[in-house]
Structure 1
């Protein structure tokens, strides 16, 4: 009987080990697939879950070591099981380490700034199906931004947001005529200079391009964007990446410091976002300060940073924070910036790599074809 029980336990252990090994292999493959040059939605979606895959590989590797020690698995299998996860974990660490707490900051903090050179930018995806307007309006009142970018608005939200018009002297909006999720409202206390909604590549998704005059007379360029996410079966990342490349190029050509604000539907460690940052000379306030996830609000497992405020070196960072939940599936974020020549002297955007402009041109060609 004891021998039979031991045999059954051994078989159960081997079966569990085989299952864990299968899951570990799948997690490692999923980790490395985004290295391929593709716009396929499910491959690029894997970029979102890097933190989750990193943790899953560690847990599965520990389980496998407990169930099937390498010296029992055989030299070849044991080494393979150790090396392949090590490669996947190393790649995750390479992508994620700038966003881990303790890493060197990219946007240097400023303690002082003249009042007339300050700018508070709040980004909020309200979720069109969310009909809890009062918590959001109260949040705007408490946080008191100078510029408010509101995403996924429709005619219902347009009516509710009219209560904010008394707080802001300048308002522009693009409301979809169909059942789309890509309405946008931008409220500003400061003068908007030549605001224009762009529909890049014939897409229904609006992108605002506007100058912004601060009280002290200084100017910045504001780009508010909400490109489409990778979506099952129907929506590759071609258009999204094209939006990011085009706006990065526009920011590169701007004569005044630029701000990119919105729900990028892309994690900041993705290849396309990092390339856009290099092309546009953009700083990410998350670098060295933590992941600061904004989607999905209230979820621990499905959690990644999609809502972003990036800016060029002529702007300094006074604060960057995620604001409380107000009923949407996104948390809002707010950046407090300072238009300052001193800021440009104390911080450096990531340098352009040799193939960045060529790759951006290829991305734009693909987006136009799509």
Structure 2
């Protein structure tokens, strides 16, 4: 038992220390993901150290102190994404349908054949815009009936698990597909016209994750996010960035993206809304995101029902309010953040 507790303590402390190293290689970045899991295991470990390890040694006291600090650090990192944290995006008080936009983000899992389940979830929630990710030609064929109800589309079906299908009831204009970093990883850039005529800019992304079988480094993912942050910062229109970012809401890169783009995260002050992995409850992380400029307020955000994908869909309903920009505050980068962002874009 003593050996087990010692190994568990060392592992948990090592996992936290590895995540603090700002290196792009996957062996460091992968430990950004299970922050809540590390917190829970650290609490269990502290309990074991106090009540099941009867050695009265200096090493035990050191382990108790270190694991307590680990718990405190992880709690401080997680609490902004709970109802205890400060909300970045305020709740819309009045309902203005002509200034609203609802979006469903669904990584469908390319090999998933349950397109009928996906269509039922779309009809049930009735979004204005649907972004489907990991969509190949089969998924394009299986969802063509959506064209009747969603007359505006931008489609990039691919067989490499990075295809995108964007359907919209609202008018799309100046739509384009870009390959910002990798030649086979697309992003969709389009203007959306709200019912009241307001033009907003929408960016749909799906960068590669830092895992051995995909991309051993987070370099390309981080670069795509930060290049998009530059676009969002420069444009005068209200901005929404959506997609499977393959990064958790609390990571250093996501926070750097928010600082450099001036966008807000609706999860802050509300909850995790974990979207992946749908089949393993103890290993779930918030990977599918919607980041929003200060011109919007939140009407609703929720996780939808799974339809045999490895991701849960995410639904968000926003309301454009011109005065919201003076009521909400984005994060500001310091000199170190700016330097880090510039280095990652090289």
TM-score (structure 2 length as normaliser): 0.96
The counterpart of 1:126, out of the listed 102, 105, 108, is 108
Q: Which protein has the larger Cα radius of gyration, Structure 1 or Structure 2?
A: 1
Aligned-pair CA distance for 1:91: 2.3
Could you list the runs of 5+ residues in structure 1 that have no partner in the other structure?
1-15, 366-370
Q: Which runs of 5+ in 2 are unaligned?
A: none
Paired residue secondary structure (2:315):
strand
- Counterpart of 1:188? 168
Partner Cα separation in structure 2 for residue 235 and residue 204 of structure 1: 17
- Give the whole-Å Cα distance in 1 for the aligned partners of 2:145 and 2:174: 24
Superposition pairs of residues 216-231 of structure 1, within 5 angstroms? 216-231=196-211
- Contact persistence 1:32–1:88 (CA under 8 A): no
What is the total number of aligned residue pairs between the two structures?
Answer: 345
Question: Cα offset for 1:343?
Answer: 1.8
Match of 1:274 among 250, 255, 271: 255
In structure 2, distance between residues paired with 1:47 and 1:357: 21
Residue of structure 2 in register with 1:104 after alignment: 86
Normalized per residue, the structure richer in helix is 1
| Segments of 4+ moved more than 3 angstroms | none
2:192 is paired with a residue whose SS is: strand
- C-alpha distance in structure 1 between counterparts of 2:183 and 2:14, whole Å: 33
Q: What's the counterpart of residue 13 of structure 1?
A: none
Q: Pick from 10, 34, 45: which aligns with 1:25?
A: 10
Output one character per residue of 1:196-218: Cα deviation in whole Å (capped at 9) or x when no partner. Answer: 11112234111111111112110
Please point out which of 180, 189, 193 is paired with 1:213.
193
Deviation, 1:68, is 2.0
2:49 and 2:64 in contact (8 A); partners too? no
1:82 to 64, 67, 82: 64
Cα-Cα RMSD: 1.3
Per-residue CA deviation, residues 222-264 of structure 1 (Å, 9 max, x unaligned), is 0000111111265211111111111111100111111010111
Deviation of 1:73 (Å): 2.9
What per-residue deviation string (whole Å, max 9, x for no partner) do you get for residues 318-358 of structure 1? 11111111221111111111111122222111222222222
| SS of corresponding position for 2:148 | coil
TM-score for the superposition, normalised by structure 1: 0.90
